[in-house]
Amino acid sequence: MNAIVTSVLLMLILSFSRVPVVMSLIIASVLGGLQAGLSIEDIITAFNNGLGGGAPVALAMATLGAFAVMIARTGIAQRLSVRVIRHIDQDNKSQNFSTKITVSLYTAFILAGFASGTIIPIHIAYIPILIPPLLIVMNHLRLDRRAAACVITFSLSVMYVTAPIGYGNVFINDILLANINDAGESIGFSVDRNLLPGAMLIPVAGLCMGLLFALLVTYRKTRLYEDSSIQRESIERDQAGLQTWQITGISLALLASLAVQLWSGSMIFGGLTGFALLSICGIVKWSEQDSVFTEGVRMMAFVGFVMIAASGFAEVMKATGEIPSLVQNTAEIIGESKPLAAFVMLAVGLLVTMGIGSSFSTVPIIAAIYVPLCVSFGFSAMATTALIGTAAALGDAGSPASDTTLGTTAGLNADGQHDHIQDTVIPTFLHFNIPLLTFGWLASMLL
C-alpha cells in the first residue's frame, strides 16, 4: 500500500478512536515515513522543517483567542444574548419564535462566513469572536451544535470554490487556473478564466444538499447543553453595564482590529491591536491583563498545536515522494473506464487533502498529473476543472487537521462541550465530502 494512503488512514483511524489529533498526526508521520523508506532522522528533519508552516496560524489563533476573551469580558455581546434569552424564556411555548431565532442565527453564521472569505478576507478569524457569546442562546434554543458546525463549515467552504473574490480569487485564479494551465501547456491544453466559477456550480450543489440534509433530517432534534460558569459570569457582569465612552472604545477596537488585519495581512497584528485598545478602555484591571491573555491562548491552544503538527505531517508526506506515485498509480487500476477514472481521481484527491488539511496545497500536487490524465480520457475543459477543483476541496471540510474544522471547533467548544472529532469532523465529512464527491463525479460526466 502507498505510504500516503497508509499515513492518512492511520491518522483518521487513530483520531476517530479518540487518540489526540496531535499524537495521531505524529504517529502517522513516523509510520508513513518508515514505510516510504525514510530514516528516523529524515522523518524528524522533515517534520521539524514543516512545523514553521503552522506557527503563524497558531500564533494568530492565540492572539485572536485573547481578543475574544477580552470582548467576552466587556459583556457587550452578552447584551444581545440576554435579551434573546429573555424572549425565549417568556415565550418558550412558541415554536414559531424559536424557529425564527434559529434561522436568524444560522443566517448570521452563513453571511459571516461568506464575508470572511470574500469582501472581508479574514477566514476563520471571526469565529472565536462571534460564536462563543452566542453559545448560551443556542443552549436555550437546545440547538444541536453539530448542525451549527455544518453551517459554519459550509459557509467557509462554498464561497472560495465559486466566487473569485478574496480567498476565492486566490484559489480559483492564482492556484487552480494557474496550475491547470501550467500542467497543460506542454500538451496544448488550457482553461479559460471565465469557465472556472461555472465548473464548480454542480459540486457546490452537493454542499448545499448536504447542509439541508444536516439541518432538516440528521440534526433537527434538540440537544441539551449546560450553561458554563464563564457564560454565567459574563451575563452577571453585563448587568452592571458599560459607560458610553467604553462602548465607543469597544466599537473602535473591533474596527481597528479588522482594519489592521486587512492592511497588514496578518491576523496576529489584528488581534493584538484589538486586545491593546480594549485594555486601554479599562475593560479589565491592568493587573488582570496577563490572566485574560493566558485564558484566550488556552482556549485556542488545541487549534494551534494541531495546525503546527499538521504542517509537520504534510511535510513528511511530501518528503516521502509518494504523492505523485499515488496519483500515477491510479491510471493502472482505471483501465479505459471514464466514469471509474473520475471516481478514482476524486478519491485520491480526498486522501491527499484529508492528510494535508488544505485544498489550497493539494492543487499543485495533483494538477500536474491529473491534467494529462483527464486529456487522455477525453474530459472537457470544464469537466477537468470540476474534477481537479473538487478533488482539492474534498477533505477540507472533514479533515481533522483542516483550519476550517479546527476554527469551527474553536468557536463551538469555547465552553468545553463540543468534541472536535465526534461533533465537527465526522458530521462535516458525512454531510459535505460524500455529496461533494458524488456531485463532483456527476459534473465530470455532464460537463
The whole-angstrom separation of Cα 299 and Cα 12 is: 24
The pLDDT of residue 258 is 76
Residue range 333-357, pLDDT digits in tens:
676 788 888 888 888 888 877 776 6
Residue 59 lies in a domain: yes
Region 197-208: what's the mean pLDDT?
A: 90
Specify whether the backbone of 143 is left (phi greater than 0), alpha (psi in -120 to 50) or beta.
beta
Ranked by mean pLDDT, the top range of 17-26, 151-160, 277-286, 290-299 is 151-160
More confident residue, 88 or 255: 255
The number of domains in the chain is 1
Domain of 228, in residue numbers: 54-160+224-305
| 421-443 tens-digit pLDDT | 899 999 999 999 999 999 999 99
Distance from C-alpha of 235 to C-alpha of 255, rounded to nearest angstrom: 24
Domain for residue 85, yes or no? yes
Q: What is the mean pLDDT of the chain?
A: 80
User: What CA–CA distance (Å, rounded) separates 120 from 130?
Assistant: 15
- 148 in any annotated domain: yes
Q: In this structure, are residues 159 and 114 in contact, taking their beta carbons and an 8 Å threshold?
A: yes
d(CA 358, CA 400): 11
In a domain, 79, yes or no: yes
**CB distance 178 to 132 below 8 Å:** no
- CA 62 → CA 149, 206, 300, distances in Å? 21, 34, 6
Tell how far CA 276 is from the center of its chain: 27
**Residue 62 lies inside a defined structural domain of this protein:** yes
Gap between the Cα atoms of 419 and 226, Å rounded: 15
Residue 325 lies in a domain: no
Residues 211-263: tens digit of each pLDDT = 999 999 999 998 998 877 554 444 444 444 566 776 787 778 878 877 887 78
Compute the distance between CA of residue 135 and CA of residue 307 in angstroms, rounded to an integer. Answer: 24
pLDDT at 215: 94
Burial label for 96, CB within 10 Å (0-12, 13-18, 19+), is exposed
Query: Does residue 208 fall inside a structural domain?
Result: no
Return the percentage of the chain with pLDDT > 70, whole number: 83
Q: Tell me: pLDDT of 149 over 90.
A: yes
Residues 440 and 446: their CA atoms lie apart, in Å, by 10
Angle between helices 21-35 and 3-16 (to 10 degrees): 160
Instruction: Kindly give, in sequence order, each residue whose CB lies less than 8 Å from that of residue 87, ignoring residues fewer than 6 positions away.
Output: 97, 101
Structural domain contains residue 169: no
pLDDT at 90 over 70: no
Cβ atoms of 443 and 203 closer than 8 Å: yes
Select from 120, 123, 106, 114 the least CA-distant residue to 61: 123
Backbone dihedral angles phi then psi of residue 162, each to the nearest 5 degrees: -125, -35
Calculate mean pLDDT across residues 91-112: 79
In three-state secondary structure terms, 59 is helix
Q: Residue 203: pLDDT above 70?
A: yes
H or E stretch at 8 = helix 3-16
How do residues 103-115 score in pLDDT, each as one tens digit? 888 998 999 888 8
State phi, psi for 127 to the nearest 5 degrees: -60, -50
